[in-house]
Amino acid sequence: MADGALSPGVNLEAFSQAIAAIQALRSSVTRVFDCLKDGMRNKETLEGREKGFVAAFQESLHSVSRDLGELERLSNLVGKPSENHPLHNSGLLSLDPVQDKTPLYSQLLQAYKWSNKLQYHAGLASGLLNQQSLKRSANQMGVSAKRRPKAQPTTLVLPPQYVDDVISRIDRMFPEMSIQLSRPNGTSAMLLVTLGKVLKVIVVMRSLFIDRTIVKGYSENVYTEDGKLDIWSKSNYQVFQKVTDHATTALLHYQLPQMPDVVVRSFMTWLRSYIKLFQAPCQRCGKFLQDGLPPTWRDFRTLEAFHDTCRQ
Amino acid sequence: VGTVPVAEGKSVQQTVELLARRLEALGAEKQGTFGVDCETYHTAATLGTQGQTGKLMYVMHNSEYPLSCFALFENGPCLVADANFDTLMVKLKGFFQNAKANKIESRGTRYQYCDFLVKLGTVTMGPSARGISVEVEYCPCVIANDCWNLLMEFMQSFMGSHTPGIPSVFGSKHDSTYSPGDTMVQYMELFNKIRKQQQVPVAGIR
């Protein structure tokens, strides 16, 4: 049945011959080993025994190589059936009789469609993003949407020394902000920023790129049980969960791939405006509370305080 | 982070219910109960010079910190100890005498609204209800002065014109970290105030 489906480009004759050749090859190989196993026996003289054994062994080896040659010749005739199938080798999956049990093939087709679509949309998106020159994807001129591999080769290999330098300069710039730098896993730095007595921020860096931030309360624990910085859990307080969201937004806003240190500095400047998180009223409605939350949003340029819903 | 007495012309019970209803209308959720109690001890007369009234010491417990016991002097230091401090006080009977009749406590419901914690309690002394305590805490903030304006606004939203003034502990704290002891000092001051106006069972607005 399977062969029938492949028939258009396949020489069926050659196929059956090839199968026969494989059988011949197997039997001749078996003969070689039989001969070796039996060894030298049933001969009167030592010389006769050796001669007979060598001759038999030689002959069986010859037949092996002959059969092998035959098989190689036939395999050329058979050709490559899979070339003809639109999905190449994966197309053979559709011929698998166990298909009813495992929906592998239909899933594969689905995935293929999705990836096609994804590629198309990614292309469109990168085209649109390239028009906005100050955003994160600024310097990607290519059509591909893979932003990191292209953007970072130069900035990813900054020496740790330089990163330390930039961070400590920022640390000295803001007296009410203390930055603790650690490298628990290799060269990527993790910062624990303590802002006054208001909040603590965990910043995960990759070279000088900020990958992730988490904002927690001043009184909250930022370490896991084994003493490492806890970069996964959220704050227990709604205010700081909100601020975490805004900080992530800020990460995406402050992007200048050519000058990563400026990015870190402006992010920290923005973060510093949270020192008055509980003291500053909203610049629009003039109130402190809205739905039980203080103004958690800080404008990127003016650093003014707004409620999440009061900002433009 | 504040304790506030509110008593109106109506009965204590009615006022508590009114406040609770307003809180729930805001969207606060009930979260069980709480209790704060306070016992008074006199320093024994033998210790102090004759004729001078002995100093008062207050031993307080807060259900929020079940393993701690707070001992406070009026205007004096606040001592935070383990809960078995009580047994120690029994041993010190010679120096400190328990004024049994003066035991005062506040019990009520605990509410949570976003990051705020509100404890609405009825203050009782002996068998009679004497007033209402409202404690409002804003958990994310560790410096009381920073979030006072915020607290004010929140309290106004459910207490209206009865919003209290800034508690005196805040003034001395400046920008140091707020501690459970500061809450207890406020409760002590509140209890003392309520005790003093014993003679007037139905009090005006404070």
Complex confidence, ipTM: 0.74
Cα–Cα distance, B151 to B139 (Å, whole number):
11
User: Which residues in chain B are contacts of A237 at CB distance < 8 A?
Assistant: 115, 139-140
What does the domain layout of chain A look like in residue ranges?
Answer: 12-39+49-77, 158-274
Written as one letter, the residue type at A224 is T
Cβ(B142)–Cβ(B175) below 8 Å: no
Q: Identify the CA nearest to B141 among candidates A171, A230, A293.
A: A293
> Residue A240: which residues within 8 A CB-CB, separation 6 or more?
A199, A215, A216, A217, A220, B140
pLDDT digits over A7-30, tens only? 445 567 777 888 888 898 898 889
Tell which wins on pLDDT, A204 or B87.
A204
List all residues 6 or more positions away from B127 whose beta carbon is below 8 Å from its beta carbon.
none
Nearest to A287 among B146, B147, B153 (CB): B153
d(CA A246, CA B70): 40
Q: What is the dihedral of CA A54, A55, A59, A62, to 10 degrees?
A: 60
Does A223 reach chain B within 8 Å, measured CB to CB? Answer: no
pLDDT at A151: 45
A-contacting residues in B 18-37 (Cβ below 8 Å): 27
Whether the pLDDT of residue B169 is over 80: the answer is: no
Average pLDDT over residues B198-205: 36
Entry pTM: 0.61
Q: Which ranges of chain A have pLDDT less than 50?
A: 1-8, 135, 137-153
B17 Cβ contact partners less than 8 Å away, ≥ 6 residues apart: none
Could you tell me which residue, B149 or B2, shows the higher pLDDT? B149
Dump the DSSP string for B1-66.
Answer: --EEE---SS-HHHHHHHHHHHHHHHT-EEEEEEEEEEEEEEEPTTTSPTTSPPPEEEEEEETTST
Whether A198 has its CB under 8 Å from any CB of chain B: the answer is yes
Q: What percent of chain B has pLDDT over 70?
A: 73
What mean pLDDT value characterizes chain A?
A: 79
pLDDT tens by residue, B1-56: 444 544 444 566 777 787 788 888 887 888 888 888 888 877 655 444 444 455 67
